[in-house]
Amino acid sequence: MILVIDIGNSTCKFGLFYKNEIVAVWKAVTRDQKTSDEYGILIHSWFQQNKFDPANVKGVVLSSVVPNLTHSFVNAISKTFNLTPLIVKAGVKTGIAIQVDDPREVGSDRIADVVAGFYLYGGPCLVMDFGTATTFNLANGDGVFHAAVTSPGIQISADALWSKTAMLPHIEIACPPSILAKNTVTSMQAGLVYGHVGQVEYIIKKMREEAQCEDAKVIATGGYAQIIRAKTDIIDIYDPLLTLKGLKLIWDKNNGR
């Protein structure tokens, strides 16, 4: 079995693969104050709960956009599995050529997304990840990652809205019945959701246009993808496990599979 871990700004996602099948997925809130022992206990408890034997894990691949946690997870993996994880970073084989000003600036989660998008669904592809930030990553038909856009995620926008305005309440991020809102809550929901939909459609249109790849498949993943996907037909494929699948592909490429 291969364990893949995606450490994001808001959540840590874990996927366990047996051969090419993902057999378990877990999530935890990202807490950079936790020690390696605490994360080791958490991982070990998940294995016990699901009746998986840690001794059957033959490899671990790790993506992290939270540098403070990377070291903790490396130690936790060493203590739990007696393994050193493959950390996705510059120099690791991905099968994707990263042609941007500084490839070291590209987040490892974005690389995993593009690897999965390209190798599972074909190129050219435009991969979006609706997480803490909303990211747009473009790979051409030759597997060259050559353009990216980063915008505030829908949760960041919501947090800014109610933290900077004294009279607006905290609300659930959901799509209201109509954009013609009749009260404060639905007016905020309409602005957040439909505003994000408009942003997504415009950015995709401009990226396709300037890259001259109008046929690029649009692939979406991430926690808020389903909300946006329900209100636009510009998304071709929704894959909630895209990042984890990309990490497994990267592991395979670095281990002769």
Residues 5 and 13 sit within 8 Å (Cβ to Cβ): yes
pLDDT interval class at 162 (50, 70, 90):
confident
Helix axes 154-163, 184-211, angle to 10 degrees: 140
Q: Is 73 helix (H, G, I), strand (E, B) or coil?
A: helix
Which backbone phi and psi does 160 adopt, to 5 degrees?
A: -65, -40
- Break the chain into its structural domains and give their ranges: 2-87, 97-246
Tell me the average pLDDT across 188-201. Answer: 95
State the pTM of this model: 0.92
Task: Decide yes or no: CATH 3.30.420.40 for domain 2-87.
Answer: yes
Give the three-class secondary structure for 60: strand
Where are the extended beta strands (E) located within the chain? 2-7, 11-18, 21-29, 59-64, 86-87, 97-98, 125-130, 133-139, 144-152, 217-221, 237-238
> Topology of domain 97-246, per CATH?
Nucleotidyltransferase; domain 5 (3.30.420)
Q: Identify the CA nearest to 111 among candidates 252, 245, 255, 257.
A: 245
pLDDT tens digits, 31-43 = 877 788 888 888 9
d(CA 70, CA 51): 26
52-76: pLDDT as tens digits: 999 999 999 999 998 888 998 999 9
User: CATH topology of 2-87 equal to that of 97-246?
Assistant: yes
Q: Determine whether 43 is exposed, middle or buried from the number of CB atoms within 10 Å of its CB (0-12, 13-18, 19+).
A: buried
Distances (CA, A) of 128 to 110, 131, 218, 248: 9, 9, 7, 19
- 128 in Cβ contact with 226 (< 8 Å): no
In this predicted structure, what is the pLDDT of residue 91? 81
Burial of 243 (0-12, 13-18, 19+ CB in 10 A): buried
pLDDT class of 4 with cuts at 50, 70, 90: very high
Please list the active-site residues: 109
